[in-house]
Chain A
Amino acid sequence: MSNHPAYTKWADNQLAKSLQRFPERRARFIHHGNTEVPRLAVPADIDQNYLDQLGFPGQYPYTRGVQPTMYRGRLWTMRQYAGFSTAAESNKRYRYLLDHGTTGLSVAFDLPTQIGYDSDHDMALGEVGKVGVAIDTLADMETLFSKIPLGKVSTSMTINSPAMVLLAMYVVVAEKQGVAMADIKGTIQNDVLKEYVARGTYIFPPRPSLRLITDIFQWCGSNTPAFNTISISGYHIREAGSTAVQEVGLTLANAITYVQTALDAGLELDVFARRLAFFFNASSDLFEEVAKFRAARRMWARIMKERFGATNPSSWMLRFHTQTAGNTLTAQQVDNNIVRVTLQALSAVLGGTQSLHTNSRDEALSLPTEESVRTALRTQQVIAHESGVANTVDPLAGSYFVEQLTDRIELEATDLIGRIEDGGGVVACIEDGFIQRQIENSAYDYQREIEEQERIIVGVNDFVVDEESKPPLLRVAPEVEDEQVARLTTLKHERDNADVAASLDRLADKARTDTNLMPLVIACVRAYASLGEICDVLRGEFGEYRDRQ
């Protein structure tokens, strides 16, 4: 509480409005012994520097969070990334997760799907159903969401280059369930720029890829207003070995590129900007991570307001999903990973994430078992319900250490964005390898520190034990690939192939024009054209990007 007029103004406006619309989870939040937990701690003497750099939650520059009451109003979405094998198997896992209290789905696709190959493609050999679910046609998507009401759950899909096709399938499945398009909630990752530098599931060259993204922004703006059209991802950049500063700098540089491309295509800033979502990594350096999330929020608000001139406050807000850092999991003494994940998840919550995935203890070895996924989910629930950190807003604000870290990250990440712009922008810096080199150098330094024991990884380069018992692992049976291929072959015989050919021809006709391709892709999907067939049409028109440095 404070008597400062800025505080009073915030409390009377943003806070009051928010409390009215979204009542807090409890009437009172208390410590043991009945002491009340304050909603928001502020300095006794609020000065201009505080107002400029931190402000109040739900208020520009959003350093302290995007909502006035944060987790007192609603906890973050506990969203566990899952999917493997066939659509039917994954459907079972989703329903298991929903039964155990996850509040949103997050679909993992296998690599052939992510790269726009059907399961019977040569390059799909050995990869079908391995790191996610295999989706070839609408029929697989119908199975994937069978008995899951798409009007009620929000679904995040980790799909990038062929995002338009998978989104089209989702829309058609929802339609068949009788769900109104306006009620579809969720996110597609759709962030192709980071694929060229970190994750590797690109298909087309950067320019046509950016055009597909812009088409999605536009189509969703008028058809599925509650769907997040992109999740601009630092997660994979960090996994590829970047530092926290590089994660923020490179992610926001990508975001700037998407915004600029959409503006160049004539889209309305305040219409598409509020559907941009972000996705960050929660790694092990706890305070640096908290500072990173806070800095990213402040930077984005400033970029959107000052650089692009957005006027709607929702356009200024950086809303983000977080996943704990997969690369920090160890194959040695796997139970230690539960502790790592707990600390990382805590940093995401202290940093104000909107949704969270916690990794499972066995993921350095294989896909997680059902049991270890449950422990990972329980970790979030313990943080949410037992630790007390969700009972107040931005508890680390005002710590000298955390505020200085936040300022440093903002300064250095802003500098990196400037260097990329001096180098001709993100696309030019991908093509000449500048961005890849930045990440590679950091990755190499990190590994050397481990080798030289400047960095201790418990159970790996210190505190090592001889382990005998091996944890049970989840394996995807090799037959899954053959079965999926057989299903696809049958479907290709049974569908109306004249209809498929006609819809694909219409797509090819329009691909080089500036017609929005989304309705044409929906038509292809509805005819049960396969993902590979649709992507092949676009490969023919756009060319392929093959040789990442």
Chain B
Amino acid sequence: MKSIDDILAGITAGQPRAIGRAITLVENQQEGSEAVLSHLDSLVCNYLVLGITGPPGAGKSTLTSRLIEQYRADGERVGVIAIDPSSPLSGGAILGDRIRMMRHAKDPDVVIRSMATRGRLGGLCSAAGSAVRIMAASGCSKIIIETVGVGQSEMDIIGLADLTLLALAPGLGDDIQAMKAGLLEVVDLLVVNKNDLRGAENLAMDLEGVARQREDKYGLPTRVCRTIASEGQGIEQLVALIAELESLHSESGEMNRRRQVSRNREVVDWGLDMIREKLEPLAALHKHEASPQKTAVQLLQKLWLDL
């Protein structure tokens, strides 16, 4: 599987090997990644990107696994991008989200890819955005991005999703309060998972109160859904809610607007990465006589001529 043509043909045929290779190429920005990506856009058809975020212990991976199950039962092909943080010390990462999704390992119509944040801001978005398009081109009609929604890079990732779901569970402590504040502004759906645990009722009521105060553009409050993902309870209702929001957003044009925004940001991210790559060696060579700001302007002007 060396040539770009092989990879492209493999992606359209849904071959796991080709899909995996292609994502590696774009993730590492290796030679050929641009060629793969530029061909993909013509292949992509209809798909929905669902972002799932929430604190550790909320049951995101189990929820994802149940959603996969439900969508597969409806005959859809599903992609999953599971994101875990890289260690700031070593740059390595343990990608453990797959554990809860292994029951789908032998299903050729479930494509799962674990990705590490690699300490990048924009770069992760561009890699994950490209992975979404590769999965879509391979025929995935539902693509789930799962991430711990705490850091800025994870929040940015959520911007890639057409719909975003925040999973919470009772008993996870105070950090949820802080998280709720920022995340509530961007999520479309609130899920109270582990609804059988003590404190679930309070959490759900609390969230429903918050949700009522925040009407969306259709004048509807943010939906709150209760699930016990470990036992599969509430998943059908959740899938129905997602479908309802999906059709609302596509009819109103909100879906297109969001995709445009996210696409714009991807463009900027790519651009910044490209500039950084050129700028870093220049800065290293440059004799720093002027102020950093002035130097930057000089170097950019020089770059401008080169580009």
Are B56 and A432 closer than 8 Å at their CB atoms? yes
Q: Chain B contacts of A543 at CB under 8 A?
A: 231
Q: Chain B contacts of A205 at CB under 8 A?
A: 230-231
Which stretch of A46-54, A331-339, A423-431, A513-521 is in the interface?
A423-431
User: Cβ of A546 < 8 Å from any Cβ of B?
Assistant: yes
Cα–Cα, bound, A475→B283 (Å): 65
A306 to chain B, nearest CB (A): 24
User: Cβ of A462 < 8 Å from any Cβ of B?
Assistant: no
Residues of A407-442 at the interface with B, using a CB-CB cut-off of 8 Å, are: 423-424, 428, 431-434
Are A432 and B57 closer than 8 Å at their CB atoms? yes
**Would A547 and B102 be within 8 Å (CB), given that A432-B56, A432-B57 are in contact?**
yes
Q: Which residue of B lies closest to A427 (CB)?
A: B197
Are B56 and A548 closer than 8 Å at their CB atoms? no
Are A547 and B197 closer than 8 Å at their CB atoms? no
Q: Chain B contacts of A423 at CB under 8 A?
A: 171
Q: Which residue of A lies closest to B196 (CB)?
A: A207
User: Cβ of B258 < 8 Å from any Cβ of A?
Assistant: no
Q: Chain B contacts of A547 at CB under 8 A?
A: 61-62, 65, 99-103
Cα–Cα, bound, A431→B197 (Å): 11
Cα–Cα, bound, A546→B103 (Å): 8
Q: Chain A contacts of B171 at CB under 8 A?
A: 423-424, 428
User: Cβ of A497 < 8 Å from any Cβ of B?
Assistant: no
User: Cβ of B194 < 8 Å from any Cβ of A?
Assistant: yes
Q: Chain A contacts of B302 at CB under 8 A?
A: none
User: Cβ of A549 < 8 Å from any Cβ of B?
Assistant: yes
Are B96 and A431 closer than 8 Å at their CB atoms? no
* Chain A interface, >50% SS class: loop
Cα–Cα, bound, A546→B57 (Å): 17
**Would A424 and B197 be within 8 Å (CB), given that A205-B231, A432-B57, A433-B57 are in contact?**
yes
Q: Chain B contacts of A549 at CB under 8 A?
A: 96, 99-100
User: Cβ of B149 < 8 Å from any Cβ of A?
Assistant: no
User: Cβ of B59 < 8 Å from any Cβ of A?
Assistant: yes
User: Cβ of B276 < 8 Å from any Cβ of A?
Assistant: no
B295 to chain A, nearest CB (A): 44
A174 to chain B, nearest CB (A): 37
Interface 0/1 of B98-122, CB less than 8 Å to A: 0111110000000000000000000
User: Cβ of B198 < 8 Å from any Cβ of A?
Assistant: yes
Are B100 and A431 closer than 8 Å at their CB atoms? no
Cα–Cα, bound, A47→B194 (Å): 51
Residues of A200-216 at the interface with B, using a CB-CB cut-off of 8 Å, are: 205
Cα–Cα, bound, A548→B59 (Å): 12
Are A431 and B59 closer than 8 Å at their CB atoms? yes
Residues of A509-549 at the interface with B, using a CB-CB cut-off of 8 Å, are: 543, 546-549
Cα–Cα, bound, A419→B256 (Å): 48
Q: Chain B contacts of A431 at CB under 8 A?
A: 57, 59, 194, 230
Q: Chain B contacts of A434 at CB under 8 A?
A: 57
Q: Chain A contacts of B61 at CB under 8 A?
A: 547
Interface centre among B57, B100, B172 (most CB of A within 10 A): B57
Q: Which residue of B lies closest to A423 (CB)?
A: B171
Q: Which residue of A lies closest to B65 (CB)?
A: A547
Q: Chain A contacts of B103 at CB under 8 A?
A: 546-547
Q: Chain A contacts of B101 at CB under 8 A?
A: 547
CB contact between A428 and one of B62, B96, B100, B197 (< 8 Å): that residue: B197
Q: Chain A contacts of B57 at CB under 8 A?
A: 431-434
Interface 0/1 of B160-204, CB less than 8 Å to A: 000000000111100000000000000000000010011000000
Q: Chain B contacts of A433 at CB under 8 A?
A: 56-57
A425 to chain B, nearest CB (A): 9
Cα–Cα, bound, A431→B65 (Å): 15
Cα–Cα, bound, A549→B56 (Å): 12
Cα–Cα, bound, A433→B100 (Å): 12
Q: Chain A contacts of B59 at CB under 8 A?
A: 431
Are A546 and B96 closer than 8 Å at their CB atoms? no
Q: Which residue of A lies closest to B62 (CB)?
A: A547
Cα–Cα, bound, A546→B69 (Å): 14
Q: Which residue of B lies closest to A424 (CB)?
A: B171
Interface centre among B56, B169, B194, B230 (most CB of A within 10 A): B230
Q: Which residue of B lies closest to A432 (CB)?
A: B57
Q: Chain B contacts of A548 at CB under 8 A?
A: 99
Q: Chain B contacts of A546 at CB under 8 A?
A: 102-103
B52 to chain A, nearest CB (A): 16
CB contact between A424 and one of B96, B102, B198, B231 (< 8 Å): that residue: B198
Cα–Cα, bound, A432→B172 (Å): 9
Q: Chain B contacts of A432 at CB under 8 A?
A: 56-57, 169, 172
Interface 0/1 of B224-248, CB less than 8 Å to A: 0000001100000000000000000
Cα–Cα, bound, A424→B169 (Å): 11
Q: Which residue of B lies closest to A545 (CB)?
A: B230
Cα–Cα, bound, A428→B65 (Å): 19
B6 to chain A, nearest CB (A): 33
B230 to chain A, nearest CB (A): 7
Interface centre among A205, A423, A431, A548 (most CB of B within 10 A): A431
Interface 0/1 of B73-100, CB less than 8 Å to A: 0000000000000000000000010011
Interface residues of B (CB under 8 A from A): 56-57, 59, 61-62, 65, 96, 99-103, 169-172, 194, 197-198, 230-231
Provide a sorted-by-A list of 11 A–B residue pairs whose CB atoms are within 8 angstroms: A424-B170, A428-B171, A428-B194, A431-B59, A431-B194, A432-B169, A433-B57, A547-B65, A547-B100, A548-B99, A549-B100
Interface residues of A (CB under 8 A from B): 205, 423-424, 428, 431-434, 543, 546-549
- In the A-B complex, the 3 residue pairs with the closest CB atoms: A432-B57, A547-B100, A424-B171
14 further A-B contacts with Cβ under 8 Å, apart from A431-B230, A432-B172, A547-B103, are A424-B171, A428-B171, A428-B194, A428-B197, A431-B57, A431-B194, A432-B56, A432-B57, A433-B56, A543-B231, A546-B103, A547-B62, A547-B65, A549-B96
